[in-house]
Amino acid sequence: MEPILEELFRQHRDAEGMLVKLAAGTARVRREGAAGPGVLGELSEIRKDIQGEVLSHFREEELALFPVLGRHIDSSAGPIAMLMEEHALFRQLELQFEEALASLESGLHDDEWAEKLCDAGDAIGQLLPPHIEKEEGVLFPMAESTLEESEWAEVRRLWSEAVEAAQHS
Ligand SMILES: [Fe+2]
């Protein structure tokens, strides 16, 4: 399999690992409240996973794979458009999660923010698995059967540029 696809599959397994931690974290908030021992620390680790791995994964897909594949399949409708929309929705939920966590960390309105954080966590947990399934079941096989080696080289080049740009931002 094309190494870029292997890497995307690997990143999906990491995202699934994050989802397991996220579900455990929100369950603890519901059980013990945000003031439970180590609860906020656990949530802050999850935030780090999301901000690091998950968001850079999205960026790599959006800046490298999607544009090259978008020359073969319409990207204003169909799978690419739908996946981009889900990325945007995820980013909104992630902001909601971050805002709630930051408020809890500063000791504000515990119950209300705890609920917002759990809602965002639940919504992320519902959004991401079918999203990953669509990419792995539809988009990646499409890319594998459609893209020529020279196009994969372009995906790899765009990918390194995206990684480099992120390091300097
Ligand atoms: Fe993905």
Give the confidence band of 166 by pLDDT, cuts at 50, 70, 90: confident
Tell how far the Cα of 8 is from the centroid of ligand 1, in angstroms. Answer: 6
Q: What is the DSSP letter of 102?
A: H
The answer on pLDDT for 110 being more than 80 is: no
User: What pLDDT is recorded for position 135?
Assistant: 97
pLDDT at residue 53 in the model: 85
CB within 5 A of ion ligand 1: which residues? 135
pLDDT digit string, tens, across residues 8-31: 999 999 999 999 999 999 999 999
| pLDDT above 80 (res 46) | yes
115-127: pLDDT as tens digits: 999 999 999 999 9
Average model confidence (pLDDT) for the chain?
A: 94
How far apart are the CA of 39 and the centre of ligand 1, in A? 28
Residues 134, 79 contacting (CB under 8 angstroms):
yes
Average pLDDT over residues 101-110: 88
120 within 8 A of 104, measured Cβ to Cβ:
no
- Runs of H (alpha helix) within 33-77: 39-49, 55-60, 66-69
pLDDT at site 70: 94
Report CA(139)–ligand 1 centroid distance (Å): 10
What separation in Å is there between the alpha carbon of 135 and the centre of ligand 1? 6
pLDDT score recorded for residue 168: 83
What domains lie within the chain, and their CATH numbers? 3-168 (1.20.120.520)
How many whole angstroms from 109 Cα to the centroid of ligand 1? 35
Ligand 1 geometric centre to CA of 110 (Å)? 33
0.75 exceeded by pTM: yes
CA 10 to ligand 1 centroid distance, Å: 10
Q: Where are the beta strands (DSSP E) in the chain?
A: none
pLDDT surpasses 80 at 152? yes
